[in-house]
């Protein structure tokens, strides 16, 4: 399947390029990586700028192809990344748009689009990482609220978040995939404690979150009670689908820079380096084509990327496994790219002030984050190849 751009889509691309060229030079300087309140304000300010220009809703109130064009062009232009808005714009927001009620969409989507609220992701737990469905955080129904107890790990942007997309177990007796619910939890609720975690690269975009008798309204549940695993598959289809588009574009740009550096410092004379550069170029060209294929699938399925299999959603859309294929290969390709960059840099690869060095450290997490490579292989094996479980 190929992706052909319509005249209207190409016109959108041209307008976006023109707007970016006029707007980006006037942006304020980025805050320090350690200044999370400052980064929150900067990232939300950029989202407000997009909203005021008519681009705020592109992440879910637009076709997958339009989203692809937007992510491609903003990355090529060097526009700010979504940053602290990542979970709201690329995970929770699209999920609520696809699965939420009219009231939920009206409450949560406009503040995300206007750059007013930040979301974090409360999925993983100390004993439920790769096997996410084994989560133990409990939600006991008490009238019109759930009383939540447990903890979450690797909670993205929890330090500055207003809301959390939270997975909880609402039926301890049901099979583990069938007793889960998807809740929107206010981060300022009594009983929520956030403890930042420092990564290998020195940043603190993750945190532990402890939940002690946190009361969450039943009205904040997205989807039916105990149907949260299906809703989660919708979330993950976005996380593993178009959410990585900008990163593919960025990696292709880095690859070109690595090649230029190799020519400048003599590493190009090594035939092994040239061979690996050529292979990386082929990898990222193929990943870009796979991205376009997934977007074409998303167009055919009503907007959920990679919708080629799985369990039908409430709207009739089917979250599929195309995103898992992409994420599996992209994770490894990114690691290979920055290992190659380190080889080209030589001793400078130990200098944290040099470009690509911190990227190399962060690339180590990609075969774990958003579903480990082992889990992605299981999904591909079972849902595409039809292999038996186990």
Cα-flanking dihedrals φ and ψ of residue 265, to 5°? -105, 5
Contact 230, 311 (CB under 8 A): yes
Q: Quickly list DSSP for 228-275.
A: HHHHHHHHHHHHTTGGGHHHHHHHHHHHHHHHHHHHHHSGGG-HHHHH
Between the alpha carbon of residue 246 and those of residues 81, 123, 177, the distances in Å are 9, 23, 32
Whole-angstrom CA distances from 299 to 63, 65, 257, 305 are 7, 7, 33, 8
Cβ atoms of residues 210 and 217 within 8 Å: no
User: Taking a C-beta distance cutoff of 8 angstroms, is the pair 380, 321 a contact?
Assistant: yes
Rg (CA), the chain: 21
Q: Please state whether 266 falls in left (phi above 0), alpha (psi between -120 and 50) or beta.
A: left
- String of b and e for 353-382 (b: at least 16 CB within 10 Å)? eeebbbbbbbbbbbbbbbbbbebbebbbee
Specify the 3-state DSSP secondary structure of 167.
strand
**Annotation marks residue 239 as catalytic:** yes
Phi and psi at residue 387, in whole multiples of 5°? -75, 155
Instruction: Single out the catalytic residue among 75, 159, 239, 297.
Output: 239
DSSP 8-state code for residue 181? E
From the list 244, 268, 271, 260, the residue with the least C-alpha distance to 334 is 244
Which pair of structure tokens corresponds to residue 55? 């681009």
Tokens of 4: 């052909």
Residue 167 CA: distances (Å) to CA of 92, 150, 194, 222, 228: 12, 11, 17, 10, 7
Could you list the active site residues? 239
């Amino acid at each position: 399947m190929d992706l052909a751009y319509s005249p209207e889509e190409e016109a959108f691309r041209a307008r976006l390029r023109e707007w970016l060229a006029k707007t980006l030079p006037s942006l304020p300087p980025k805050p320090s990586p350690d200044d999370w309140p400052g980064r929150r304000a900067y990232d939300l300010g950029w989202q407000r700028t997009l909203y005021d220009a008519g681009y705020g809703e592109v992440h879910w109130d637009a076709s997958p192809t339009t989203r692809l064009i937007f992510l491609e062009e903003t990355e090529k232009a060097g526009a700010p990344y979504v940053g602290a808005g990542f979970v709201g714009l690329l995970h929770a927001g699209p999920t609520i748009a696809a699965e939420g009620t009219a009231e939920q969409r009206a409450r949560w989507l406009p503040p995300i689009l206007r750059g007013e609220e930040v979301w974090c992701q409360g999925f993983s737990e100390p004993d439920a990482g790769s096997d996410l469905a084994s989560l133990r955080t409990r939600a006991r129904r008490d009238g019109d609220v759930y009383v939540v107890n447990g903890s979450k790990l690797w909670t993205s942007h929890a330090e500055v978040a207003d809301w959390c997309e939270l997975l909880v177990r609402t039926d301890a007796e049901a099979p583990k995939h069938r007793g889960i619910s998807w809740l929107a939890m206010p981060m300022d609720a009594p009983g929520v404690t956030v403890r930042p975690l420092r990564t290998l690269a020195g940043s603190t975009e993750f945190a532990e979150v402890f939940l002690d008798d946190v009361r969450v309204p039943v009205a904040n549940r997205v989807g039916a009670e105990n149907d949260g695993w299906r809703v989660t598959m919708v979330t993950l289809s976005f996380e593993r689908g178009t959410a990585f588009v900008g990163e593919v574009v960025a990696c292709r740009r880095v690859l070109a820079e690595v090649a230029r550096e190799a020519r400048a410092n003599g590493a190009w004379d090594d035939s092994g380096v040239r061979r690996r550069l050529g292979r990386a170029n082929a990898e990222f060209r193929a990943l870009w084509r796979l991205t376009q294929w997934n977007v074409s699938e998303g167009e055919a399925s009503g907007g959920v990327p990679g919708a080629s299999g799985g369990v039908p959603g409430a709207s009739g859309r089917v979250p599929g496994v195309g995103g898992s294929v992409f994420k599996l290969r992209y994770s490894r390709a990114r690691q290979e790219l920055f290992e190659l960059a380190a080889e080209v840099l030589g001793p400078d690869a130990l200098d944290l002030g040099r470009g690509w060095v911190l990227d190399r450290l962060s690339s180590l997490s990609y075969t774990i984050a958003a579903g480990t490579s082992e889990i992605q292989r299981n999904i591909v094996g079972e849902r595409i190849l039809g292999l038996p479980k186990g």
